[in-house]
Structure 1
């Protein structure tokens, strides 16, 4: 382990935050100022990583939060406890965003339990390493696209009947959308699709008063990392950035907050780039 890296460690997909060493830093760093007071946010992939940090920060800013997760029950309950510690309600929804039926159920339960939906954060994603395109199976391609971009379509389609003038959608992209990644071909392709999806949807929904923006993180210390890469890559994760380190989830959540609140009221179709100084990814 280098001074700026991480201990060697490996997990199975989709990864568990409670098993990471060191634990990612998701806690909000500043007092809340009511920027999402009495609003409701639905965050996919909200059990851990960037999704957890975003959910807890939204709660500190006054929002009730529904989080969607795939199978990591312990992580989801820890996120719920953190949201409730901020004095807000948290609805936990277990299911697969690649299933349009589940997406409709998740949106319906959120609206029924929390009364409204003001902000939709599409954050759930998965990635798998393959050094050669011939190694990527049709099943892997379909699965990656189903989670990473089909799920965005399904969640937006399900949410639209509940999104009024002034609602916001924030999509999680990646530095790989513009820089590429030779070992993450299918993942990078989905992130490029998210870039185009976000900008196109922003134009489509502008007349409805719904803003659509995105965040394109660089290397961030989340459960996806030890669940994706071999131990030697985990140990040096993020050290090649100009800043010489990986980012923490709470360094990305603030970008989601900015795009989810009125601070960004004259922005739509835009991306923020918390990537440690990677100019090629901005």
Structure 2
């Protein structure tokens, strides 16, 4: 979709899969992009892990460290919480909203825009791999559109933010493609 949606300011975009919890891997990505383009214009932190727990006591220190090292992109749960015992997951997502806003203010004088996308429930391999079957069955039924989104429905949000033509006057903001849930935060 990214290649199809290229605009005049997009040049020749690339997608790189990496382990964002590894500092060494992240440095390799920076080197790879800088080598090809000379600089980084767009970065999409689209990483996430979650682990279903019924009790706070089930959350271990090791798991929290893994969550905070991996979950570096905001989602709607950072704004509205969740009744689904994802307290550990929520804390990582809320942190990224603040990080996005703070980084935007820090980099604005360099002409760098920093924004986020906070999706609602979306069908990805993460859901059946980490949630109980009964929750997977009802994923998205609690949002106004009464369904989970598909990854292709979120892609335009990223393309919008990556385009200088569309979002040159935005920084420190978070878009919410979430099936109609109203969020203010």
| Common topology (TM > 0.5) | yes
Aligned equivalents of 1:203, 1:251: Cα separation in 2:
29
CA RMSD of aligned residues (A): 1.9
1:208 partnered with 2:110: yes
Structure 1 position 68, deviation (Å): 1.5
Normalising by the residue count of structure 2, what TM-score does the alignment of the two structures yield? Answer: 0.90
Structure (1/2) with the larger strand percentage: 1
Q: For residue 14 of structure 2, what is the aligned residue in structure 1?
A: 65
Give deviations 1:205-264, integer Å, cap 9, x for gaps: 000000000111000111111111111211121112111111111111111111111111
Q: For residue 238 of structure 1, what is the aligned residue in structure 2?
A: 140
Equivalent residue runs for 1:43-58 within 5 Å = none
Structure 1 position 280, deviation (Å): 4.2
Task: State how many pairs are aligned.
Answer: 182
Normalising by the residue count of structure 1, what TM-score does the alignment of the two structures yield? Answer: 0.60
Aligned equivalents of 1:272, 1:111: Cα separation in 2:
27
Provide structure 1 residue ranges, at least 5 long, that are not aligned to the other structure.
1-26, 39-62, 70-95, 150-171
Equivalent residue runs for 1:1-282 within 5 Å = 32=5, 34-38=7-11, 63-69=12-18, 96-113=19-36, 115-149=38-72, 172-182=73-83, 183-262=85-164, 263-280=166-183
Give deviations 1:105-131, integer Å, cap 9, x for gaps: 121123224554221111111111112
SS, match of residue 67 in structure 2: helix
Provide structure 2 residue ranges, at least 5 long, that are not aligned to the other structure.
none
Structure 1 position 200, deviation (Å): 0.4
* Greater than 3 Å deviation, 4+ residue runs: 113-116
Q: 1:280 to 1:132 in 2, by over 3 A?
A: farther
Aligned equivalents of 1:217, 1:32: Cα separation in 2:
20
